[in-house]
Chain A
């Protein structure tokens, strides 16, 4: 089966750091994505990991451990505009006519002043 787990909600303080965890069990693995989604809008791409390790991109970093089926998204210097849902998504095999991306249920992050 396919299963992606992430916390439902998190709260953090403006200026602080927050880590959003994601664990997955899928029939195959071909990359993990993190997306940001503001209420009523479509997701926007944040990061993509296919190899183990940390990928840093400005205030956002994403980590992947394939052996553990684990990833996290790290947000630094939090701003109020970072209040959004963060979706962990895995591209799973089998690879038929197209790569299918499976989304987790999302983590709703609230930033308080």
Chain B
């Protein structure tokens, strides 16, 4: 089956630093990748959609300058949380799709804690 990995699985950082999260599709080419954020006891909220080689499309209310997304290849997308603050602490989950999103495979998630 399709496998999506995320790295790191858990990260703790100081306020003001930047954190990069990688999302990789291991056995298929991901035309589209999605980034979600999930706060405790809440559901997944879509942050942005990225297509390989083009700019990401951000959801309303998500700051594109704060959450930098790069989808440089068909197997890798990165999310960089710039100048992280404690309120950015959350569970970040990516999903990868071999098409335009009809099928999505979720990564295991990255838990970010900003002190």
Contacts and interface: CB of A to CB of B under 8 A. Distances in A.
Interface in A81-113: 87, 91, 96-106, 108
Provide the main secondary structure of the chain A interface: loop
Interface string B81-92: 000000000010
Interface residues of A, number: 21
Contacts of B42: 105-106
A28 to B, nearest CB: 14
Contact of B57 (A40, A45, A97, A103): A97
A100 B45 CA distance: 11
A42 B101 contact: no
A91 B49 CA distance: 14
With a 10 A CB-CB cut-off, give which of A45, A96, A97 has the most chain B CB atoms: A97
A103 B107 CA distance: 16
A104 B43 contact: yes
Given A98-B51, A98-B100, A99-B101, A40 B44 contact: no
